[in-house]
Amino acid sequence: MTQINVAEILAKGKVLQEITINGWVRTFRSNRFIALNDGSTIHNIQCVIDFENTPEEILKRITTGAAICVKGILAESQGKGQSVEIQVAEIEILGDSNADEYPIQPKKHSFEFLRENAHLRVRTNTFSAVMRVRSKLSFAVHKYFQENGFNYVNTPIVTGSDAEGAGEMFRVTSFEDNKAPVTEEGKIDYSKDFFGKETNLTVSGQLEAETYAMGLGKVYTFGPTFRAENSNTTRHLAEFWMIEPEVAFMDLDGNMDLAEDFIKNVLGDVLENCKDDLEFLDQRLSQEEKSKPQAERSEMGLIEKLKFVTENNFKRVSYTEAIDILRNSKPNKKKKFQYLINEWGADLQSEHERYLVEKHFKCPVILFDYPANIKAFYMRLNEDGKTVRAMDVLFPGIGEMVGGAQREERYDVLLEKMKAMNIDEKELWWYLDLRKFGTAVHAGFGLGFERLVQFTTGMANIRDVIPFPRTPQNAEF
C-alpha cells in the first residue's frame, strides 16, 4: 500500500487505489463519517466506516483530536461536499483524545482562547492555513533573493551593538542572581561577564549586514529580532522575524524599487502556491467583516487586496508632502487625531500613517526623506542638511511594513552624526571602518515578516501569525 498525504490524494489519487493514511479526527458523525485532517491541506478527507463490522470499542475511541491510521480504498464519494472518500477496511487508533478534555472542539473558538492553547491551535482550519501560508511565504522570500543574486547572511543574535540606538534591548548575561560584580562606582561590571562586555539580543542585523554587503555586494538576513518595548498592540511582538536586504552601489530610489518588487513578488508567489488556504482565509475574513459596522468593513476581499497590491504601483510621497496632506486633512482640522499635525518635523504616529494609506491614497505608500532628528544615526543626510534618505513602506490595515534607508557612506558626516546622537564611536569602530576602506553608496531595509504574514492572511492580530508569540507578560510555551 502506498503512504500518501491528503493533499496528494485530492490532487492525484486514483479511484480504487488502496490507501493508508494517518491523521487527526476533526469530526465523527453518525458513527460512520470521519473528517480526517493530516495538515497537508485545508481540506479533510472523508473516511467512511463500515460500522456494523467495526467493534464498538474502536468506534468509541474515534473522537475529535484522536490520531488514527486508516487503510482502505479510494472511492468516488456518494455524498455531497467531496469528490472522493476512503472506504475504510481497517482502522487503528494511534493516540486517543479524551473528548471531555480536548480543548479544540468542532465549533468556533475565540482567538484569545486559542492563544491560551497555542500548542493545539494549529489543529484548527484557520491556524493550519495561516501557518502553511507563513511557511510558503518564507520560502518565497529566500527564492526571491536567491534568484536575484543575493547572499543569505546570518548576523549575530547576541550583539554588543545597538543598531537603532533606541535602547529597547533584552540584556544577555551569565551573571547569577544578585551575584553580579560591581565596579568602584557601584555599576554592574560587565567586563567580568561572559563576553567581557555588555551584550543584548539583537534589534536588527543591519549594521553587520552592511559589512557583508561591502564585500558580497548583495546580501539579506532573515532571522529573529528582539525588542523590549512595552507595546501591547496588534502589530508588535517582542520576538519577531525580520528580513533585511542590504545592497552596495544602490541608492534610495533603488531601495524603493527593491522593496516594491520584493513585496509584489512574494505576494504573487503565495497567490499562485497557496490558493486553497487563501480562499479559506478570504472566506473567513469576509465572515468576520460581516460582524463589523458597515463603515468599518474592508472594501476588498483578501485575495482581491493581495492582487491589488501586486498589480498597482506603490505611491511614493516625501515626508514634506505627507505633512501637507495631513495638516489639511479632515481629522486634523476637526481635531480627531490624537496627535495633531501642526508643523514640519512632527513624528508620524500610526493614526497618521493609516490615514495616508487607508483614507487618502488607498494603496501602499512609500514615504521618504524624513527629518533627520526623528530617524536613526546611520541614514544619509540630504543636501538640505535637515532631511535624511529614509523610507517607510506603509500598508493598509498594517501601517509600517518596511523601514529602510540609504546609509551615510561619508566618514566625516557619519562621525559627526554619531557624536550629535550620543552613539559610542568606540563601540562602532568597525562600522566606521567601512567608511574608511572602500566606502560606497549603499542602502537596505528591514521588513517585519509577521506583518507581511498578517497582511497576506488577513489576520487582525500579529500574535496569531507566529506559532508562539512573545509579548509583554507572556512567554508561555
* Residue of 23, 65, 72, 403 interacting with Mg ion (CB under 5 A): 403
Can residue 451 be called a binding residue for ligand 4AD (CB under 6 A)? Answer: yes
**Grid coordinates belonging to 96:** 486517543
Can residue 23 be called a binding residue for ligand 4AD (CB under 6 A)? Answer: no
- Binding-site partner at residue 65 among Mg ion, ligand 4AD, none, CB < 5 to 8 Å by type: none
The span of 195-203, 396-404, 417-425, 431-439 binding Mg ion (CB under 5 A) equals 396-404
Can residue 245 be called a binding residue for Mg ion (CB under 5 A)? Answer: no
**Grid coordinates belonging to 123:** 489543529
Can residue 240 be called a binding residue for ligand 4AD (CB under 6 A)? Answer: yes
Residue 226: burial class (beta carbons within 10 Å; 0-12, 13-18, 19+): buried
* Residue of 23, 448, 458, 469 interacting with ligand 4AD (CB under 6 A): 448
Q: Count CB neighbours of 444 within 10 A.
A: 25
Residue 48: burial class (beta carbons within 10 Å; 0-12, 13-18, 19+): middle
The span of 65-73, 292-300, 417-425, 442-450 binding ligand 4AD (CB under 6 A) equals 442-450
Can you tell me the distance from the alpha carbon of 109 to that of 296, in angstroms, rounded to the nearest whole number? 23
Place of cell 529566500: 142
* Residue of 13, 65, 72, 444 interacting with ligand 4AD (CB under 6 A): 444
**Grid coordinates belonging to 28:** 465523527
Residue nearest to ligand 4AD (CB): 403
Measured from the CB atom, is 66 or 243 closer to ligand 4AD? 243
Q: How far is the CB of 204 from Mg ion (least distance, A)?
A: 10
The span of 197-205, 281-289, 378-386, 402-410 binding Mg ion (CB under 5 A) equals 402-410
Can you tell me the distance from the alpha carbon of 360 to that of 298, in angstroms, rounded to the nearest whole number? 15
**Grid coordinates belonging to 12:** 492525484
Residues 77, 31, 114, 6, Cα dihedral to 10°: -30
The span of 178-186, 313-321, 396-404, 414-422 binding ligand 4AD (CB under 6 A) equals 396-404
Residues 281, 284, 288, 290, Cα dihedral to 10°: 110
Residues forming contacts to ligand 4AD in the complex (CB under 6 A) are 163-164, 204, 206, 227, 236-237, 240, 242, 244, 400-405, 444-448, 450-451
Residues forming contacts to Mg ion in the complex (CB under 5 A) are 403
